[in-house]
A and B are shown apart, each in its own frame.
Chain A
């Protein structure tokens, strides 16, 4: 019964601006905005104009990174448009203001294009009552099991219910029942009764990932989200749908029932599982990491991250983390010592070794600040240095084949060879020849990268690491290190994006951020004073390293900065 109407096509250049009014306040917005997936210019919508003046329009199905669906109807607003005279020019009131004709029907703000002179009303009694109606409709068949729902605390249904909900339900009918605990795929569980059918998950996997695997079956209120028969939902980005799901329908098998979200401390950080460096928020509680969530960064990862990276956090809390400083007194005899004692022994050793007899096996998983200090120490001692590459699968979305988070940093700071790992052969040969007598292995397994027979020839194996490996039981001096979640620092991703990460949890036992002992060592050996904070070290590094020029710790925002390289 709908009448057909022509769509007015926008042929003006994207740069042109349109003035509209939101609740009486004029705002200038571009006529078009890039499409969230294709990037092509598409007409700016009412909700985008409202965002420009910080007027929040409640919504469920709309997501700024997904194509518009317009199905939840929560964003309905009223609006008016200028009345045109016979000359196609806006008619004026006696006071000079344009004559506005209010549209008889509301429109969805998420999909309705703006036009010059349009007036958008988001807070009229009619709009309020439409929101209340939509919310009531969404709630009547909802199980309302917030006490056992993982989404509680970050649920849009709860949030808007506070603003637009009624205290008591007038619904006295039997609710619609749908499948519970549906195993959508290896990492996702679905509760169809909680699903509000907003299709965010469907649009994400189809349009963003390109895996058209989710869909809706049945009709009307019996509509049910499901996956394609025989095709589990198991691409490498499935957990993003848990973030996108405005309710508790999609839950992460990894995180469900682990913690109430309001108990989690949120720390801005960066994923370390590949060179993309997706921006994340670490959710932690009582010194334990519970989850990673992607943090929006247009320059890097949009709103997404891969499942592999997201789930790669358990190692931080592993039982067998190295916690104590250990020294090998005589061959095969290890004792735990206070950190200071291990440090003294380390410094004594470094002070006496001749130039050129040291190799440093550093890691492109370490922060720029640590690598900077390492490089300074290494240069003083004429050390041969490198960091081994770590490679794996990539994909067309985010995942990079380089599995080290800071390969570019390691190269810029003079640690890694131009081809990371290119010096390892020379390092091994030097050790075998007997020229190199001491190896400093910082976050990498010397046995794995150089071989047991090579490592056995060393006078001194000094190891700093987080987890036990083949080298740690052989170290003459062993220092426990920190996970990135336990310290501050920066990485440079594969595109040259310099990004900061913050400390979410305390390190176990005696472990302390590596930059602390590296600073002490570099100061001791080099004789010059080095700032005693990550920020200070960063600033010194940025001054000394041309690629970092001009950037300061204080000036480096949460979203990082792209280096001119």
Chain B
């Protein structure tokens, strides 16, 4: 059985571990920051690098990918910041954690807030940033309080504020609470919201945050977990970190495991070292007795569903250079971005949702679609109209008003939304579940529609009480 690999969760849930700075310092906290600040100019590979440049180099070397959903390489994202633009750069920690099934950032914020702060301060130092924000999900009321306290403690210890640790470097971090909207997790929607506006995601081009972010200044948006990883990269060195996980997707990830398993929870794994089967059976305690697996949603509710029994073809390079095709069963899929992409889905936010054979997938999809219809910001046409349309069809299907053709109808609607037609990736987020559920479980949807139709017609014959 594979073990958890606790890097970010190292202290979390340990007996006696408190979210205060004393406890954090007692566990070696802020060593990464001290190390970063102590870095003097050094010649690396024939080029003289300043301290911040060395931190950026380590992060690049680590190969760290964003943990917010898109999996974009963190070092590359940072390299887009133009330090000669004459405008201040900002860092925003995306703590809006709203993707259904995802509950990892909250563990960090509630139980080890200084880890996040340390990661943020290092990231800011590395990118010459003097002002940073934590945009926290409105529902995390206590989480915001904990962060406020942690910020005050960090300031007292001069990890924040003016002349941090006598380095001459200044940084302020502010907390901004959301008001309960999923779209505020989309980085440009978040930025609009932070600017005090309606969180309509911005069009890209031209509004890539790195170029025109907060107040149209260069801006880095990183997820909570990504920023925590930065702290560990600094402590371990980017090269060491890169040895964890897989070459294309290094490091560890915190998985939020939910759904019909015996022991839902959060687990930190080395990426690519654990299979979906191990996640369910070893970490999650398996399915309930007598149940069979039906499907897995592997990366948050917007990722495409994987069906039990599916086998996926992968091309693997042999040592002799020949390509060999191998088949991998669903439960043998390794949890890393390449494997899940190969299976037609994604790691997304690291939220694994398990559905067993008692799950009503029509109801499950209706639930997901209702969420997306409610959370669409409504800025652009395909998502605004399509998300509610799909939810309405699914509402009918789960309320005895289905039609035989609804399965096709639903899929056709879903096919009109994704593929870069919308302002932001919410268009994909709301249509991928529908597409994948319908592509893989069409019979269930069609049968539901047919049954409803039949009941209505036979009911009508039997005395006009057709409507259920």
Contacts and interface: CB of A to CB of B under 8 A. Distances in A.
Contact of A105 (B70, B72, B375, B420): B420
Contacts of A218: 378
Interface in B137-180: none
A84 interface: no
A133 B181 CA distance: 27
B186 A76 contact: no
A197 B198 CA distance: 14
B378 A174 contact: no
Contacts of B374: 219-220
B70 A220 contact: no
Interface of A: 1-7, 9, 43, 68-74, 76, 104-108, 111-113, 130, 133-134, 136-138, 140-141, 170-174, 176, 196-197, 215-216, 218-223
Interface in B51-66: none
B279 interface: no
A168 B386 CA distance: 18
Interface string B409-421: 1000000100111
Contact of B416 (A6, A136, A173): A136
B409 A5 contact: no
A215 B200 CA distance: 12
* Chain B CB within 10 Å, residue with most, of A1, A2, A3, A112: A1
B428 interface: yes
Given A74-B381, A137-B385, 7 more contacts: A4-B209, A6-B80, A7-B206, A7-B208, A9-B211, A72-B381, A221-B376
B98 interface: no
Interface stretch (B14-22, B282-290, B329-337, B388-396): B388-396
B429 A215 contact: no
11 contacts: A1-B302, A4-B80, A4-B210, A71-B200, A72-B381, A105-B420, A173-B393, A197-B378, A215-B198, A219-B378, A221-B385
A216 B378 CA distance: 10
B384 interface: yes
Contacts of A68: 203
B387 A221 contact: yes
Contacts of B80: 4-6
Given A197-B384, A221-B387, A5 B204 contact: yes
Contact of B388 (A106, A170, A196, A220): A220
Nearest to A113: B205
Count chain A CB atoms within 10 A of each CB in B77, B80, B209, B420 and give the residue with the most.
B420
Interface string B366-384: 0000000111111111101
A68 B204 CA distance: 12
Given A7-B206, A112-B205, A220-B387, A2 B381 contact: no
B63 to A, nearest CB: 15
Given A111-B205, A173-B393, A220 B381 contact: no
B69 interface: yes
Interface string B395-408: 01000000100000
Contacts of B378: 197, 216, 218-223
Q: Which of A134, A220, A222 has the most CB of B within 10 A?
A: A220
B49 interface: no
B203 A223 contact: no
Contacts of B393: 173
Given A2-B424, A105-B420, A221 B70 contact: no
A76 B423 CA distance: 11
Interface in B188-222: 188, 198, 200, 203-206, 208-212, 221
Given A176-B388, A220-B377, A220-B378, A2 B425 contact: yes
B382 A134 contact: yes
Nearest to B222: A4
Nearest to A105: B420
Contacts of A176: 388
A173 B420 contact: no
B403 to A, nearest CB: 8
Q: Which 6 A-B pairs give the minimum distances between C-beta atoms?
A: A105-B420, A7-B211, A223-B378, A137-B385, A133-B416, A221-B388
Nearest to A72: B381
Contact of A174 (B198, B392, B429): B392
